[in-house]
Amino acid sequence: MDALFDRHQPTLAAALKAVRERGYWSAYPEIPSGKIYGETAKDDGLASYSARLGKPFALPGHPGTAHIGAEVSPFGPALGITYPAADVDTLIAASQAAGSAWAEASAEMRVGICIEVLARLNRMSFEIANAVMHTTGQAFAMAFQAGGPHAQDRGLEAVAYAYAEMTRTPAQAIWTKPQGKGEPIVLEKQWRIVPRGISLVIGCQTFPTWNSYPGLFASLATGNTIIVKPHPAAILPLAITVSVIRDVLAEQGFDPNVVLLAADAPAAEVTVDLVKNRAVSIIDYTGSNAFGDWVRRNAGEAQVYTEEAGVNSIVVAATDDFAGMCANIAFSLSLYSGQMCTAPQNIFVPRSGIETDQGHKSFDDVAGGIAAAIDELLADPARAAGVCGAIANPATVARIEAARGLGRVIRDSAPVTVGDVRTATPLIIAVDDDKTDAHEEERFGPIAFIVAVADAGAGIEKAASLARRKGAITAALYDNDEHRIDAAVDASAKAGVNLSINLTGGIFINQSAAFSDFHVTGANPAGNASLTDAAFVANRFRTVMWRRPKAA
């Protein structure tokens, strides 16, 4: 019965060790190499992806009366894939019907199935990379990493936490209460994991797998049934995921409707009806603060876990590596055209400039240095396309237009022309914190502000205040004054934002590594949950006991 658990037990054990120690560890290789994934893996993945285009997506046994789907690749072509679509009541009924047997399965059975699914998804990483690329606009290399192995690592991390929580209370115990000189009272007790019920996973367009896997696998491992509601522009990566889970479920004798896809069309989304449905017990949401707020207020008794958005800040106080700093910031601003919840938006710089290894740099020197580093990074169009990817949503292009007037343009956004792809390099605007608060609004996409402040301390204070008020998922500081670094550490902690200090090499503020970095703290308006901690998992099930006198 637990053959899958036995097979994947070493992976689980390593994941459990990793989350306890939080050093570097990864279960799924991030390098899209033929040596790792097989020499034909890249071609095979593309072929598998291409074979899905222009036809209905097969999900055997999935409820659905309509076939819908209108995905268009940010790199150009329409995908032409349709997905089975059922009304909300049908999905809920199918999910409930599949629930009992899944709830009664052992923790080991469910965890074994989850890790088997992740192993299969890992082998499909090239196909998933294409699916992610052509729904999110991520360049291929990023789509592979973030959409494939990194997402799988995040899923495994959630499964590991789920297993740890489910096995924390023993399945049984003997309770022997002394009664002075009399015979003790002896009770036999047994505890059982009882899942909450239906878990709704609401995906986003930009990271359909990375942001959905933690909630999906945490709920699945703990015995809940799942309804996956993808963003209508990024259905395919989650449809493939659902398909793999359903395959493994069916092979193991479970109703595949334990996991369902709630595909919908852009103007006819079913999210509101799903959130309001009182049969839904858990909601994982990734998306805007405005809709996140609506979800939190309308979820009734359902547990809600959100990753929303924030305004991320970098404070530049001083550096021993001016070139490295500028290059590092340039990459963070350019990567996937800033369409990341972890991308920095505001760079606070003292009006009087900073001290560096290259001597004093004025405010304009710092702004110019970052702009020049972006120019250098993106000088080659092919490389630029590989870093920036494509703009996923036309609203982002409009947002760039609107932002140009908000301050002094240090570096204009420019289209990267590779075919007719909508992409854009970073727009960099200088503002003064005393004169505007334009930078305090989240402006998703390749839009950044170099914000003049009185001094480094003021920058730290402003960044923390912004995090507390508007939310922030990441923060960074460049400084060499250890007292000021300590103050920034304190301010960031109080504002509930993770702080990266003096990153100059191949690691960036945007990056959050599974098994080590918690993503989002849940301690400011950028989200109420953290990927993945115990709190993210422990309340997805309940523990119920029976007890009886033990026969002598």
Rule CB under 8 A: which residues touch a copy of itself?
20-24, 165, 168-170, 173-179, 185, 187, 189-192, 194, 196, 296, 301, 489, 492-494, 496-507, 513, 516-518, 521-523, 528, 530, 533-535, 538-539, 542-549
Asked if 477 and 317 count as a contact pair (C-beta separation under 8 A), the reply is yes
Nearer to a copy of itself, 14 or 534 (CB): 534
Nearer to a copy of itself, 130 or 528 (CB): 528
Task: Tell me how far apart the alpha carbons of residues 387 and 416 are, in angstroms, rounded to a whole number.
Answer: 11
Tokens 């991390």 appear where?
A: 157
Nearer to a copy of itself, 262 or 311 (CB): 311
Nearer to a copy of itself, 104 or 441 (CB): 104
Q: Is 199 left (phi over 0), alpha (psi -120 to 50) or beta?
A: beta
* Token pair for 220: 């699945």
CB of 22 to a copy of itself, least distance (A): 4
Task: Tell me how far apart the alpha carbons of residues 549 and 20 are, in angstroms, rounded to a whole number.
Answer: 38
CB of 431 to a copy of itself, least distance (A): 27
Tokens 């790199």 appear where?
A: 75
SS3 187: strand
Cβ atoms within 10 Å of 105's Cβ, excluding its own: 20
Nearer to a copy of itself, 389 or 496 (CB): 496
H or E segment at 186?
A: strand 182-195
CB of 405 to a copy of itself, least distance (A): 35
CB of 192 to a copy of itself, least distance (A): 5
CB of 109 to a copy of itself, least distance (A): 17
CB of 15 to a copy of itself, least distance (A): 15
Q: Is 300 left (phi over 0), alpha (psi -120 to 50) or beta?
A: left
Nearer to a copy of itself, 1 or 507 (CB): 507
Nearer to a copy of itself, 189 or 351 (CB): 189
- Sequential DSSP letters for 265-301: BTTB--HHHHHH-TTEEEEEEES-HHHHHHHHHH-TT
Nearer to a copy of itself, 3 or 545 (CB): 545
Task: Tell me how far apart the alpha carbons of residues 463 and 448 are, in angstroms, rounded to a whole number.
Answer: 14
CB of 342 to a copy of itself, least distance (A): 13
Q: How far apart are the first and last CA of the chain?
A: 33
Asked if 466 and 311 count as a contact pair (C-beta separation under 8 A), the reply is yes
CB of 490 to a copy of itself, least distance (A): 8
Nearer to a copy of itself, 247 or 320 (CB): 320
Task: Indicate if the alpha-carbon torsion angle 247, 251, 252, 257 is positive or negative.
Answer: positive
Nearer to a copy of itself, 40 or 175 (CB): 175
CB of 35 to a copy of itself, least distance (A): 12
Nearer to a copy of itself, 293 or 376 (CB): 293
Whether the bond between 532 and the residue before it is cis, its omega within 30 degrees of 0, is yes
Tokens 């009399």 appear where?
A: 182
H or E segment at 434?
A: none
Nearest to 262 by CA among 202, 198, 197, 195: 202
- Sequential DSSP letters for 81-118: -BEEE--HHHHHHHHHHHHHHHHHS-HHHHHHHHHHHH
CB of 184 to a copy of itself, least distance (A): 8
SS3 354: strand
CB of 420 to a copy of itself, least distance (A): 36
Nearer to a copy of itself, 167 or 352 (CB): 167
CB of 539 to a copy of itself, least distance (A): 4
CA 467 to chain centre: 19
Task: Tell me how far apart the alpha carbons of residues 294 and 510 are, in angstroms, rounded to a whole number.
Answer: 27
Asked if 155 and 11 count as a contact pair (C-beta separation under 8 A), the reply is no
Nearer to a copy of itself, 105 or 248 (CB): 105
Asked if 408 and 430 count as a contact pair (C-beta separation under 8 A), the reply is yes
How far, CA to CA in Å, does 231 sit from each of 286, 432, 459, 502? 10, 37, 36, 36
CB of 185 to a copy of itself, least distance (A): 5
CB of 197 to a copy of itself, least distance (A): 9
Task: Tell me how far apart the alpha carbons of residues 487 and 490 are, in angstroms, rounded to a whole number.
Answer: 5
H helical segments located in 222-270: 236-251
Asked if 424 and 445 count as a contact pair (C-beta separation under 8 A), the reply is yes
Nearer to a copy of itself, 55 or 494 (CB): 494
